């Protein structure tokens, strides 16, 4: 299989970028997308060229490191699939593919297809911690967790923070990521003491990171490789509004 790649090359966030054409020869249909890029980079290095820079780590769809736009679609557009899980059998001989990084003001380009997603880390850090006693591990049955909240929390915890939701959203909103993290912790009994404060702090940090506002278009859910549902956004909004009303008397008292 032979492919023509148009890859976005950019030295850093301040430098101008452009698409550069490469020929990918002898691509095996059993290769993953990242393995195909590895082969292209090996040829570039042998010819004395600069290899294409892209993020990767586990290559098992777990870590959330890899990701770029392939023909305008996050992770290539295949449902429930990260870039490292996307195989070349989904493409045809002679295809032309356009590769570019996530496009969002909150995700500045580091180099080529790699963007800085530290904004996600700062949002998680703003959520604080769970107040549990330190010491030996508690008994597994000491805190009873009903099945529906447990399943809701586990579904939300599947988020790997890859950033596809932001890249797919026309507003570059981080609502799906934010909702998943708030739902993950806020659904469990252990997360209740800081639940309201967590929602306020994480939403405030997301605004500071210059993510866009959610308008419920749904592109984030379609692009999410872990198929996180829009329900988490509704839960986040509910927690945030409730926390805002709970905080209002304190704010008014201070103003008075």
Domain total of the chain: 2
- Pairing between β-strand 18-24 and β-strand 109-111 as defined by DSSP bridges: unpaired
pLDDT tens per residue, range 207-229: 999 999 999 999 999 999 999 99
- The answer to whether residues 121 and 247 belong to one domain is yes
- The answer to whether residues 52 and 89 belong to one domain is yes
Return phi, psi of residue 239, to 5°: -65, -40
Check pLDDT > 50 for residue 255: no
- The answer to whether residues 134 and 96 belong to one domain is no
> Helices 118-126 and 195-208 meet at what angle, rounded to 10?
150
Of the three residues 110, 132, 150, the one that is the final residue of a domain is: 110
Of the three residues 55, 78, 110, the one that is the final residue of a domain is: 110
pLDDT tens per residue, range 76-88: 999 999 999 999 9
Please tell me the distance from the alpha carbon of residue 153 to that of residue 151, in angstroms, as a whole number: 5
- The answer to whether residues 176 and 232 belong to one domain is yes
pLDDT tens per residue, range 124-163: 999 887 766 667 776 767 778 899 999 999 999 999 999 9
Query: What CATH number is attached to the domain comprising 145?
Result: 1.10.1060.10
Tell me which residue range forms the domain holding 213: 117-255
Of the three residues 58, 92, 110, the one that is the final residue of a domain is: 110
- The answer to whether residues 186 and 201 belong to one domain is yes
Average pLDDT over residues 2-17: 96
Please tell me the distance from the alpha carbon of residue 161 to that of residue 124, in angstroms, as a whole number: 10
pLDDT band at 23 (very low <50, low <70, confident <90, very high): very high
Residue 190, pLDDT score: 83
pTM above 0.75, yes or no: yes
pLDDT band at 253 (very low <50, low <70, confident <90, very high): very low
Query: Helix, strand, or coil here: 220?
Result: helix
Please tell me the distance from the alpha carbon of residue 105 to that of residue 26, in angstroms, as a whole number: 37
Query: What CATH number is attached to the domain comprising 46?
Result: 3.10.20.30
Check pLDDT > 50 for residue 251: no
């Amino acid at each position: 299989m032979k492919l023509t790649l148009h890859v976005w090359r950019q030295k850093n966030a301040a430098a101008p970028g452009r698409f550069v054409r490469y020929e990918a020869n002898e691509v095996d249909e059993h290769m993953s997308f990242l393995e195909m890029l590895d082969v292209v980079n090996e040829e570039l290095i042998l010819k004395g060229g600069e290899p294409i820079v892209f993020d990767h780590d586990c290559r098992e769809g777990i870590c959330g490191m890899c990701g770029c736009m392939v023909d305008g679609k996050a992770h290539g557009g295949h449902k429930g699939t990260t870039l490292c899980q996307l195989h070349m059998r989904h493409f045809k001989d002679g295809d032309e593919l356009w590769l570019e990084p996530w496009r969002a003001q909150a995700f500045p380009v580091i180099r080529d297809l790699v963007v800085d997603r530290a904004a996600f880390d700062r949002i998680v850090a703003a959520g604080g911690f769970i107040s549990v006693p330190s010491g030996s591990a508690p008994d597994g049955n000491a805190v009873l967790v009903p099945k529906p909240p447990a399943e809701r929390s586990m579904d939300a915890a599947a988020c790997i923070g890859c950033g596809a939701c932001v890249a797919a959203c026309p507003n570059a909103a981080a609502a799906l990521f934010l909702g998943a993290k708030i739902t993950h912790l806020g659904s469990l009994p252990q997360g209740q003491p800081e639940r309201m404060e967590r929602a306020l702090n994480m939403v405030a940090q997301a605004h500071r990171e210059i993510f866009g506002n959610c308008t419920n278009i749904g592109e984030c859910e379609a692009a999410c490789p872990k198929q996180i549902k829009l329900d988490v956004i509704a839960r986040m909004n509910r927690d945030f509004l409730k926390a805002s009303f709970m905080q209002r008397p304190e704010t008014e008292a201070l103003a008075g």
